[in-house]
């Protein structure tokens, strides 16, 4: 996200630099005769550069405070809208003086850099060249004459070449707005609702103890179980299309693993010395295996159907008197199974020890203590099963569990049993989740009932729903669309202003030339057509450049965005350019024609007399 924000910020800053640079470039070109006259009376190039720099500072003195005020007002309006879509974020609109000083200094530096080249241009021009200057004709070599038939199209194209720098900058500033809009649309349309929902919910509704949904809450225990009467209350609302219980372990259970696997698992968050110390406290079998804690699930068929089977046959868990289990593997953020996240493989025999009573002993002397309370504080002790049952199972499948159906915390290997097997072997039947789907007609009614039930009637429990997460997804996507749209609008506005400025000052600088063309027989309609073609060349160039940039960045943007956001699926998007192109064409025709009309308010004779 930081990379994306910095990239969009760089586009905005680049566009700001381009318009400031272009404004000074055009301003100097428009006043070039004035600077030439100043040189005839002895003004040095250094003094001319100082004049331009002073103009820039005076403009900054007015513009920067206005920009800071507008930025503060805009930020104050947008920040609450953005933070409203973020969990656990408190809205705070900062008025820190350092932020404003930093923005002001950055803007001032940008202005000073932008006016350097126009200042050199003014200082380089000779008085004779300045008097004859129209646009893009400072110094140099001999003009080349080409004998060919002139057309409005060729004249418009030739006019763009008079000041290639101005043309290039104007085209770039327009194209950046299109690129930013295209990127925003690509980014927001790439948000994959299926990926998003698959992580947060697997069924239409999940009902559980409120503590089970809290990050950092206590581990699941018998006090958090969903009672049968609560389930019956939900069932009584009707509209349920499918349902199932997920049972959680509330009694002690252990598995047996090799020392190498134990080091691999605990070495991810412990140092080597800590791991060895922990191993010394674990009970060992005669084969040298270490007893370690294990997480067990009991799932009814509805819940089992929502698991992803990597290998094997999950239906074996539903057989009567089943001695089959499924080993649970972890996934990365993008849904790829991590095949080294569990030791059990298909067909392996797994021994689960159900512990009814532990005993505690001194690791140094072997002295046994009847309870934890009787162990002295300075004793390094271990624990081992005293009363227990060992039950062997066969691994029938390797699976991944949707996060909504999981314990939602980590630290132990996990196995899944059929509901009947779990109740039989653990001796418990504590429901961790009640999960169910509803008919389309009953979805809204169930959402309304559960909201009232968990808030007002039985607040010990809470629920998650697919509809709620769909709303969160749309809210997240709209937040990015709002941000990108605002930036695109700002960049687009800057680009259009730059384009308008370039066209208007170009016509102003060439007003005598246009009057000459009109005097020798060129009609007003032909002049407007020529200027309109110039505008179309600008906008067509901007569209082609934007298209080239989008095509050039597509091979890199897709993998980058897919790897950056886990619920993103890159989709090549080009339609924003097609939408913007007609708008650019309208601007390309309208702005030159209106500017020409304004320039023709004076007669041809008056315009011919102008220097």
Secondary structure (H, E, C), 14-43: HHHHHHHHHHHHHHHHHCHHHHHHHHHCCC
Residue 452's pLDDT is what? 95
Q: How confident is the model at residue 607 (pLDDT cuts 50, 70, 90)?
A: low
Q: Provide the 3-class DSSP secondary structure of residue 82.
A: helix
Task: Enter the pTM of the model.
Answer: 0.67
Residue 21's pLDDT is what? 73
Q: Using the Cα atoms of residue 485, residue 491, residue 497 and residue 498 in order, give the sign of their dihedral.
A: negative
DSSP class of residue 138?
-
DSSP class of residue 459?
T
88 or 368: which leads in pLDDT? 368
**Type and span of the H or E element at 464:** strand 461-465
Q: Which residues are within 8 A (CB) of 192 and not within 5 positions of it... i.e. 6 or more apart? A: 567, 568, 569
Residue 228's pLDDT is what? 95
Q: Which residues are within 8 A (CB) of 514 and not within 5 positions of it... i.e. 6 or more apart? A: 507, 527, 596, 599, 607
Q: Which residues are within 8 A (CB) of 426 and not within 5 positions of it... i.e. 6 or more apart? A: 249, 251, 253, 296, 298, 354
**How many angstroms separate the Cα of 296 from the Cα of each of 114, 220, 299, 409, 484?**
67, 12, 10, 13, 46
State the average pLDDT over residues 544-560: 83
Residue 99's pLDDT is what? 81
**pLDDT per residue as tens digits for the range 379-420:** 888 888 899 999 999 999 999 999 899 998 877 899 999 999
Q: Do residues 543 and 178 make contact, with C-beta atoms less than 8 angstroms apart?
A: yes
Closest CA to 510 of 30, 145, 87: 30
105, pLDDT greater than 70: yes
Annotated domain spans of the chain: 1-133, 150-202+465-611, 203-464
CB atoms within 10 A of CB 198: 17
State the average pLDDT over residues 192-199: 82
In this structure, what token pair is assigned to residue 21?
A: 């640079």
Closest CA to 19 of 76, 67, 90: 67
Closest CA to 33 of 120, 119, 129, 143: 129
Compute CA 155 distance to the chain's CA centroid, rounded to the nearest angstrom.
46
* C-alpha–C-alpha distance, residues 548 and 535, integer Å: 20
């Amino acid at each position: 996200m930081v990379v994306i924000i910095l990239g969009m910020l760089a586009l905005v800053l680049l566009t700001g630099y381009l318009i400031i640079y272009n404004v000074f470039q055009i301003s100097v070109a428009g006043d070039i005769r004035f600077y030439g006259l100043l040189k005839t009376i002895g003004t040095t190039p250094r003094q001319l550069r100082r004049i331009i720099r002073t103009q820039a500072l005076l403009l900054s003195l007015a513009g920067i405070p206005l920009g800071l005020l507008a930025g503060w007002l805009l930020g104050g309006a947008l920040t609450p809208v953005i933070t409203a879509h973020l969990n656990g974020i408190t809205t705070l609109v900062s008025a820190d003086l350092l932020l404003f000083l930093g923005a002001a200094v950055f803007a001032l530096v940008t202005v000073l850099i932008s006016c350097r080249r126009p200042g050199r241009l003014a200082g380089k021009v000779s008085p004779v060249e300045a008097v004859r200057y129209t646009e893009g004709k400072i110094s140099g070599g001999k003009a080349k004459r080409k004998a060919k038939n002139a057309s409005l199209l060729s004249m418009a194209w030739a006019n763009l070449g008079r000041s290639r720098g101005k043309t290039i900058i104007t085209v770039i500033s327009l194209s950046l707005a299109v690129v930013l809009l295209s990127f925003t649309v690509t980014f927001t349309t790439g948000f994959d609702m299926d990926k998003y929902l698959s992580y947060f919910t697997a069924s239409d509704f999940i009902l559980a103890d409120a503590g089970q949904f809290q990050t950092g809450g206590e581990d699941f225990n018998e006090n958090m179980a969903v009672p049968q009467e609560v389930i019956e209350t939900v069932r009584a609302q009707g509209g349920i299309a499918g349902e199932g219980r997920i049972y959680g372990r509330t009694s002690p259970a252990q598995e047996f693993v090799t020392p190498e696997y134990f080091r691999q698992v605990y070495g991810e968050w412990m140092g080597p010395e800590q791991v060895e110390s922990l191993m010394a406290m674990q009970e060992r079998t005669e084969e040298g295996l270490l007893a370690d804690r294990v997480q067990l699930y009991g799932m009814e068929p509805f819940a089992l159907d929502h698991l992803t089977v990597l290998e094997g046959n999950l239906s074996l868990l539903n057989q009567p008197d089943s001695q089959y289990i499924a080993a649970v593997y972890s996934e990365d953020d993008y849904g790829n199974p991590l095949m080294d996240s569990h030791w059990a493989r298909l067909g392996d025999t797994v021994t689960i020890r159900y512990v009814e009573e532990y005993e505690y002993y001194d690791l140094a002397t072997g002295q046994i203590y009847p309870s934890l309370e009787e162990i002295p504080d300075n004793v390094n002790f271990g624990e081992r099963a005293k009363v227990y049952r060992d039950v062997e199972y066969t691994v029938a499948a390797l699976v991944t569990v949707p996060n909504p159906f999981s314990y939602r915390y980590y630290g132990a290997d996990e196995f899944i049993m059929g509901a009947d097997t779990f109740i039989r072997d653990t001796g418990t039947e504590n429901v961790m989740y009640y999960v169910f789907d509803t008919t389309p007609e009953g979805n809204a009614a169930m959402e309304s009932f559960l909201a009232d039930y968990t808030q007002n009637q039985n607040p010990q429990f809470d629920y998650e729903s697919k509809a709620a997460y769909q709303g969160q997804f749309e809210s997240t996507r709209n937040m990015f669309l709002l941000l990108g749209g605002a930036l695109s609008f700002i960049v687009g506005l800057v680009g259009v202003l730059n384009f308008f400025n370039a066209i208007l000052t170009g016509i102003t600088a060439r007003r005598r030339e246009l009057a000459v063309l009109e005097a020798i027989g060129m009609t007003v309609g032909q002049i407007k057509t020529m200027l309109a073609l110039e505008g179309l060349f600008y906008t067509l160039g901007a569209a082609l450049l934007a298209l080239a940039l989008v095509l050039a960045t597509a091979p890199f943007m897709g993998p980058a965005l897919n790897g950056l956001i886990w619920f993103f699926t890159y989709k090549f998007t080009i339609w924003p350019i097609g939408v913007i192109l007609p708008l650019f064409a309208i601007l390309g025709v309208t702005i030159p024609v209106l500017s020409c009309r304004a320039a023709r308010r004076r007669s041809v004779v008056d315009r011919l007399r102008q220097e």
